[in-house]
Amino acid sequence: MRRPVIAAAAGALALSLGLTACGSGSGSDGDKLVVGATPTPAGEVLAYIKENLAKKAGLDLEVKEFTDYVTPNTALQEGSLDANLYQHTPYLDDFNKSKKTDLVPVTDVYLPPMGVYADGGKKLKDVTGLRSGATVAVPNDTTNEGRALQLLASKGVIELKKGAGANATPEDIAANPKKLTIKALEPAQLPRSLKDVDAAVINNNYALDAGLSPKKDAVLLESAKDNPYNNVLAVKKGDEDDPKVKKLAELLTSPEVKKFIEDKYKGSVLPVTGG
């Protein structure tokens, strides 16, 4: 059976690092823009803007960090955030459908490529070198699980049924020549799982948080070409034209931020907009 569309949120509120009492966002301070983000890379990009660009642009920016994928959207819907940056549009669409929220993307900002990683002691150099019967961990939310399976299929490690799309599940595997066991885990747990599995398909932000370099350490990394998983600045529907939101969107897609991403992440995060 298909697991719930959005990863179980048990304990998610406890994991949030920066969420304070409701009222700190929309409607409580007309001059401040409160933005939620996962620490890496979104939090670092927003911190760069806050420290280097926001004041000159006349933007009072407050950044609140979260360590899960559910709470930032819940907080945005409830109004304790004005915007968030951490997710791709397929995840946002799936969240809206599952939770009956009305959040919308404002602009693409960067691509955090998903990658396949193995513990250094396993000596895996290429995903095609996985042993027969290997266990591969993948994210357990619908869109990222499907994304992980599509990445494995891109190298022929598995074959998916014709028509299996972004929400593919292990039930959509048509051929599994290496008899891999697919183990679905909460995304934040994936880096810690590397010692217990043969490989794990890890979201970019959690890989960076764990000290992994997607560019250097991944044995398979997504291509930027025609990739639908760019991370977006998101707001509650109706707030797209808020002048503060528009100002932040301009800064996020500016040449300065593009250069910051290129210099800091050296190919592990790819800017997709800007001059």
- Which segment of 44-48, 118-122, 209-213 scores lowest on mean pLDDT? 118-122
- From residue 272, give the alpha-carbon distance in Å to each of 20, 111, 137, 194, 232: 32, 6, 28, 30, 10
Number of separate helices (H) and strands (E) present in the chain: 10, 13
Cis peptide, bond prior to residue 105, ω within 30 of zero:
no
For tokens 């799982």, the residue is: 193
- The residues pairing with 60 across neighbouring beta strands, listed in sequence order, are 32
Q: Where are the beta strands (DSSP E) in 38-77?
A: 60-65
Taking the C-alpha atoms of residue 92 and residue 251, their distance in angstroms, rounded to an integer, is 22
Checking if the pLDDT of 233 tops 50, the result is yes
pLDDT at 30: 63
Taking the C-alpha atoms of residue 203 and residue 154, their distance in angstroms, rounded to an integer, is 17
What are the residue ranges of helices labelled H in 100-203? 142-154
Mean pLDDT over 155-170 rounds to 94
Question: What residue spans define the domains of the chain?
Answer: 12-113+227-271, 115-221
With 0.85 as the threshold, say if the pTM is over it. no
Question: Does an H or E element contain 267, and which?
Answer: none
At 19, the pLDDT band (50, 70, 90 cuts) reads very low
Collect all residues with Cβ–Cβ distance below 8 Å to 187 and sequence separation of at least 6: 7, 69, 139, 140, 141, 144, 202, 203, 206
Domain 12-113+227-271 and domain 115-221, same fold? Reply is yes
Fold of 12-113+227-271: D-Maltodextrin-Binding Protein; domain 2 (3.40.190)
Fold of 115-221: D-Maltodextrin-Binding Protein; domain 2 (3.40.190)
